[in-house]
Chains A and B, each alone.
Chain A
Amino acid sequence: EPEVTQTPSHQVTQMGQEVILRCVPISNHLYFYWYRQILGQKVEFLVSFYNNEISEKSEIFDDQFSVERPDGSNFTLKIRSTKLEDSAMYFCASSESPVGYEQYFGPGTRLTVT
């Protein structure tokens, strides 16, 4: 069964540093998403991406965040200057269509900002 993969599984960084989280969506999917989950809290939508453009972003997704699809397979989330409160699990997801709710989530990257 095809699956979404994410690297690294765990990233530790110092406050103020830039991090790039990487995702490989399912190959025939066209819609890509990033979510985050702070420990013990609910899953929060960050951004959706289609046709090399952001479709929608949440209030969390401010100027320090950016997304990119640098080639035909990868989808990345960059955090420019990390803060302690960016510590969370970051999930990438993909879907064939935005309509309906069947999205496929990756295993996540745990980001720890010290």
Chain B
Amino acid sequence: LAKTTQPISMDSYEGQEVNITCSHNNIATNDYITWYQQFPSQGPRFIIQGYKTKVTNEVASLFIPADRKSSTLSLPRVSLSDTAVYYCLVGEAGNTGKLIFGQGTTLQVKP
């Protein structure tokens, strides 16, 4: 699994757009980029996954440049309830499905 680097923490205000960037310089050809969200005392929750260009769902957008060495999770108009830890995972889960979580980015949304 490729090593990822993301900011340890970020602050934002309600209504703002938040962009969290993840670096993954050693991403392999078969690797996907996936983001999870974790609220305190809860299990991680899958947010979005992509391979290249842009992916959008009802929760977030994921921007992936052509070289795929980084990716940006974009949360539009955050609210207080978006305060959570966001994890960037890169790799091919392969036959066993093992997920390797890093420290993630703790997003604090303020009123």
Chain A residues at the B interface, C-beta cutoff of 8 Å: 4, 31, 33, 35, 42-45, 48, 50, 55-56, 58, 89, 91, 93, 95, 97-108, 110
Interface segment out of the listed B17-25, B63-71, B73-81, B101-109: B101-109
- Judged by DSSP, the binding face of B is loop
Residues of B within 8 A of A98 (CB): 93-97
Chain B residues at the A interface, C-beta cutoff of 8 Å: 32, 34, 38, 41-46, 49, 87, 89, 91-104
Q: CA A12 – CA B108 in complex, angstroms? A: 31
A99 touches B99 (CB 8 A): no
Among A33, A43, A106, A110, chain B packs the most CB atoms within 10 A around the CB of A43
Residues of A within 8 A of B87 (CB): 43
Question: Closest chain B residue to A98 by CB distance?
Answer: B97
B104 touches A93 (CB 8 A): no
A45 touches B100 (CB 8 A): yes
Question: Closest chain A residue to B38 by CB distance?
Answer: A43
What's the nearest-Cβ distance from chain B to residue A46, in Å?
10
B43 touches A100 (CB 8 A): no
What's the nearest-Cβ distance from chain A to residue B78, in Å?
22
Residues of B within 8 A of A95 (CB): 97
Residues of A within 8 A of B102 (CB): 42
Q: Given contact pairs A35-B99, A43-B38, enumerate 6 new A-B contacts (beta carbons under 8 Å).
A: A55-B96, A56-B98, A95-B97, A99-B95, A101-B93, A110-B41
Q: CA A102 – CA B89 in complex, angstroms? A: 11
A42 touches B95 (CB 8 A): no
